[in-house]
Amino acid sequence: MQHVIIGAGPAGVIAAETLRKLAPRSDIALISDEPEPPYSRMAIPYYLVDHIAEVGTYLRKRDHWYADQRIELVNDRVASIDAHGHSLGLSSGHSRGYDRLLIATGSSAIKPPIEGVNLPGVHNCWTLEDARHIIERAQPDSSVILMGAGFIGCIILEALASRGVKLTVIEMEDRMVPRMMNDRSGGLIKKWCEAKGVEVLTSTRVNGISEDGHGRLGVNLGMGDTRPADLVIAATGVKPNTSFLSGSGIEVDGGVVVDHRLRTSAPDVYAAGDVARGKDFSTRSFTVQAIQPTAVEHGRVAATNMVNGLEIVHQGCLNMNVLDTMGLVSSSFGDWEGVDGGDCAELFDGDRYRYINLQFEDDVLVGANTLGMTQHIGILRGLIQTRVRLGASGKRALMANPLNITEAYLKATQGTTSSM
């Protein structure tokens, strides 16, 4: 059996390893267009601050890992898919057949449609190649403007600040991480950053970027406000890498359309990770989540389904994030904005930068946020994803003190008298 995987990010690598375990005799090829060995975008911020070298970002560290696993690594770009003929056209001019195919091509960062976004010195922060450009320009005391304070923007914010640059963050919406935290907690993150010397402009739009003829950039914020910059970073969103699928007949709508088994509309073709419009555990609808845990889960589920005789029906991935903004740790899980008719327990301590928000449907936890907490937060995932009933008293205890999540978990899962 020829298994071919397009894309060597976390989804592709986990899928290849899962296939190797479940189908020991099959051929497995992992095709990626990036020149580096498979690496993790998530590790880029730590490379930016020099905590790790480039090899520190690699998904697998052991020597000869892929060869030992008999996973063939191919450095090429898939230009087209002939779904009827079960074959791929590669940019190098070669073609390649498959029995089962996994599309794990991830997403790419986009730049906003404004003047000057393609000037030298304007970069995304998505690939190792981007990171090298950023390191070159983000020298101590240089001026850096970061467009976008969403999840990715906030993640790289700390790395930039600790390179000793003068940093300004510009966000169109009225708060930081608007899709992960509500206005109270998002407001605390902003206050925290400002206290650390980062200028944060929310509800602000970049109108265009210019260059003064000597390599210095100017970022136009309207009303005559133009900021000088040595480097502008666009963290303004991503889009799934699906352009090579045009003409293949494989259905794309926002991301590659998949069913509960992560099958695409073409026979023997599956999709996983940032490129796939998979099922969301909370909303039960299909959407692109674009997070690492989902890429990993998808990779495992899709690979299992690619093996004859095995089948996993995918119930949906829980949307969850953890974010460290200059030392302030926040997290979000599931339906953190709450559900109709549900209840909410909240604790807000602005002076100490602490916050927790729990959302219930009946006596089941369905969503949560934390700020300033690092202990036992994984239990929130466990409580949400097992849909465990807390019981009236369990829920009452959490409504009274939402910090007691571990106690609630132990009660709900271990009864009150028995041992572990």
Partner 1 sequence: MMKSLLIEASKCTGCLQCEMACSYENEGVFNPARSRIKVFTFHSEGRFVPYTCTQCEDAWCMQACPVDAIVINAQTGSKDVLEDICVGCKVCTIACPFGTVNYNQDSGKVIKCDLCGGDPQCVAACPTAAITYVDADATGLSRMRDWAAKTDNAAAPH
Ligand X SMILES: Cc1cc2nc3c(=O)[nH]c(=O)nc-3n(C[C@H](O)[C@H](O)[C@H](O)COP(=O)(O)OP(=O)(O)OC[C@H]3O[C@@H](n4cnc5c(N)ncnc54)[C@H](O)[C@@H]3O)c2cc1C
Residues in contact with ligand X by CB under 6 A are: 6-12, 31-34, 41-42, 44-45, 77-78, 104-107, 125-126, 152, 155-156, 241, 244, 273-274, 290-293, 295
Give the x/- contact pattern for partner 1 in 42-81, rule: CB under 8 A.
xx--x----xx---xxxxxxx-------------------
CA dihedral sign, ordered 109, 114, 118, 120: negative
Look up tokens 């205890």; give the residue: 397
Look up tokens 């002076």; give the residue: 351
Please give the residues from 339 up to 378 whose contact with partner 1 meets the rule CB under 8 A.
Answer: 374-378
Q: Which does 285 bind (CB under 5 to 8 A by kind): ligand X, partner 1, none?
A: none
Q: Which does 407 bind (CB under 5 to 8 A by kind): ligand X, partner 1, none?
A: partner 1
Q: At its nearest, how many Å lie between ligand X and the CB of residue 105?
A: 3
Q: Which is nearer to partner 1, 88 or 383 (CB)?
A: 383
Q: Which is nearer to ligand X, 124 or 220 (CB)?
A: 124
Residue choice 66, 126, 281, 286 for contact with partner 1 (CB under 8 A): 281
Q: Is 63 exposed, middle or buried (0-12, 13-18, 19+ CB in 10 A)?
A: exposed
What is the DSSP secondary structure assignment for residue 319, as one 8-state letter? P
Nearby residues of 304 by Cβ (< 8 Å), 6 or more positions away:
18, 22, 310, 311, 312
Total residues contacting partner 1 by CB under 8 A comes to 65
Window contacting partner 1 (CB under 8 A); options: 80-88, 135-143, 185-193, 295-303: 295-303
Q: At its nearest, how many Å lie between ligand X and the CB of residue 244?
A: 4
* 390 contacts 413 by C-beta, under 8 angstroms: no
Q: At its nearest, how many Å lie between partner 1 and the CB of residue 120?
A: 30
Q: At its nearest, how many Å lie between ligand X and the CB of residue 72?
A: 14
Window contacting partner 1 (CB under 8 A); options: 75-83, 124-132, 264-272, 293-301: 293-301
Provide the H-helix boundaries in 241-310: 292-306
Please provide residue 228's backbone torsions phi and psi, each rounded to the nearest 5 degrees: -75, 150
Q: Is 301 in the site for partner 1 (CB under 8 A)?
A: yes
228, HSE (Cβ side, Cα atoms, 13 Å)? 10
* 239 contacts 108 by C-beta, under 8 angstroms: yes
Containing 166, the helix (H) or strand (E) segment is strand 166-170
Q: Is 274 in the site for partner 1 (CB under 8 A)?
A: no
Window contacting partner 1 (CB under 8 A); options: 135-143, 209-217, 229-237, 402-410: 402-410
Give the x/- contact pattern for partner 1 in 319-338, rule: CB under 8 A.
-xxx-x--x-x-x-x-----
Q: At its nearest, how many Å lie between ligand X and the CB of residue 381?
A: 13
Q: Which does 244 bind (CB under 5 to 8 A by kind): ligand X, partner 1, none?
A: ligand X
Best CA proximity match to 302, nearest among 282, 279, 281: 279
Please give the residues from 3 up to 32 whose contact with partner 1 meets the rule CB under 8 A.
Answer: 10, 14
* 284 contacts 316 by C-beta, under 8 angstroms: yes
Q: Is 352 helix (H, G, I), strand (E, B) or coil?
A: helix
**Whole-angstrom Cα distance, residue 39 to residue 60?**
8
**Whole-angstrom Cα distance, residue 363 to residue 387?**
9
Q: Which is nearer to partner 1, 308 or 386 (CB)?
A: 386
Residue choice 124, 241, 292, 357 for contact with partner 1 (CB under 8 A): 292
Q: Which amino acid, one-letter code, is at 95? A: S
CA 130 remoteness from chain centre: 17
* 122 contacts 217 by C-beta, under 8 angstroms: yes
Please provide residue 217's backbone torsions phi and psi, each rounded to the nearest 5 degrees: -95, 155
Q: Which is nearer to ligand X, 100 or 395 (CB)?
A: 100
Q: At its nearest, how many Å lie between ligand X and the CB of residue 7?
A: 3
**Whole-angstrom Cα distance, residue 20 to residue 3?**
10
**Whole-angstrom Cα distance, residue 148 to residue 186?**
14
Q: Which does 301 bind (CB under 5 to 8 A by kind): ligand X, partner 1, none?
A: partner 1
**Whole-angstrom Cα distance, residue 373 to residue 355?**
8
Q: Is 414 in the site for partner 1 (CB under 8 A)?
A: yes
Q: At its nearest, how many Å lie between ligand X and the CB of residue 209?
A: 21
Look up tokens 């029995």; give the residue: 99
Name the site residues for partner 1 (rule: CB under 8 A).
Answer: 10, 14, 40, 42-43, 46, 51-52, 56-62, 281, 292-293, 296-297, 300-301, 304, 311-318, 320-322, 324, 327, 329, 331, 333, 374-382, 385-388, 405-407, 409-411, 413-414, 416-420
